[in-house]
Structure 1
Amino acid sequence: MKLTVIGGGSTYTPELVDGLARARAVLPVSELVLADPDARRLELVGGLARRMLA
């Protein structure tokens, strides 16, 4: 399943990513897309999300 997070640069996104990682067995997300109008925040949070899911 592909999941898109609108407002992905939010400080709440890492908590969401953690929850998704913990629920991998029952909620198989194959692609996570973060979308946010603030490119700087998106880059920071996206980098953290990539490290969390690695």
Structure 2
Amino acid sequence: MTNAIWTGYIFLMRAYGRRLQRLLSQGYWQGPHGFKGRWTFRGDFLIAARKV
């Protein structure tokens, strides 16, 4: 795997983690099949907070 591909992957996972964290931390979430839940996040979540 090239350095460029790995860097792109890390960038994508960080963006995915930030977006997922933002969506799930808005409080109550109900999925398409009626699943309901609440989430809290501590530490690094998909390295969303970390700079590489």
* TM-score, structure 1 as length reference: 0.31
Larger radius of gyration: 2
The answer to which structure has the higher strand fraction is 1
TM-score for both structures, normalised by structure 2: 0.32
Structure having greater relative contact order (Cα 8 Å, sep ≥ 6): 1
